Amino acid sequence: MLSLTHLEPRGLAPVDLALDDGACLAISGPSGAGKTVLLRAIADLDRNGGDAETNSMIRSQVAAPVWRKAVTYVPAESGWWADQVDAHMPAGDPGPLLDSLNLDRACLAWQVSRLSTGERQRLALIRALLLDPNVLLLDEPTSALDDAATGAVERVLTQRMNGGTTVVIVTHDGEQAQRLGGTVAVVGKGCVELSTAGGGR
């Protein structure tokens, strides 16, 4: 679960929100409205006010790295800090995830510079999934993917949600929100508005 109590991202009105285990919140809104700002604030990557909680872990009471392993943000643009792909993978076996996201298992030994944008996007998702977080904060995770790969990502996300993972996803695709069974929230005019009251499943 994820609950936000008076979370104040920069430039947005305070947000109060509660999402159950396995719930999905799809965030839409015009460019520059603050969708990324909201996700970054939840992950505590920018200065922000208020507090957040996941599965009885209170953000202000744990170190930021601990929080981010439980509430993991996957930015729209993936970052790479080593030459080879496998150097970016946390502990765990990425094999099954590579299979289900239509990626070649051999790509772990590739140079990052060789990867296409779509491959990078999926690998960045995989390294977050390997941490097995309570909450995934995804910033347009399928923006560079074709329909087949998008479908694969959505299947993996649905699977995780069935397992209890809460997903907050920024998407411009209204149908994607529907396919993931998400509540829709719109960010605009400096505030976050849920289109159906309450949130949750």
Which one of 66, 99, 159, 163 is in contact with another protein (CB under 8 A)? 66
> What are the backbone angles phi and psi of residue 139, rounded to the nearest 5°?
-100, 100
Contacts of residue 181, defined as CB under 8 A and 6 or more positions apart, other chains included, come to 24, 158, 161, 201
Neighbours of 169 (CB within 10 A): 26
Among positions 139-178, residues that touch another protein (CB under 8 A) are: none
Is residue 123 within 8 Å of 159, Cβ to Cβ? no
Give the side-chain half-sphere CA count within 13 A for 60. Answer: 11
Q: Which is nearer to another protein, 67 or 199 (CB)?
A: 67
Contact by Cβ (8 Å): 28, 171? yes
Rounded least distance, CB 15 to another protein, Å? 18
Total binding residues for another protein by CB under 8 A? 25
Residue 152 dihedral angles phi and psi, to the nearest 5°: -65, -45
Is 49 an interacting residue with respect to another protein (CB under 8 A)?
Answer: no
Nearer to another protein, 81 or 147 (CB): 81
Asked if 79 interacts with another protein (CB under 8 A), we say yes
Stretch of residues binding another protein (CB under 8 A), selected from 18-26, 39-47, 174-182, 190-198: 39-47
Binding stretches for another protein (CB under 8 A): 43-47, 63-66, 68-69, 72-75, 77-81, 90, 124, 127-128, 131
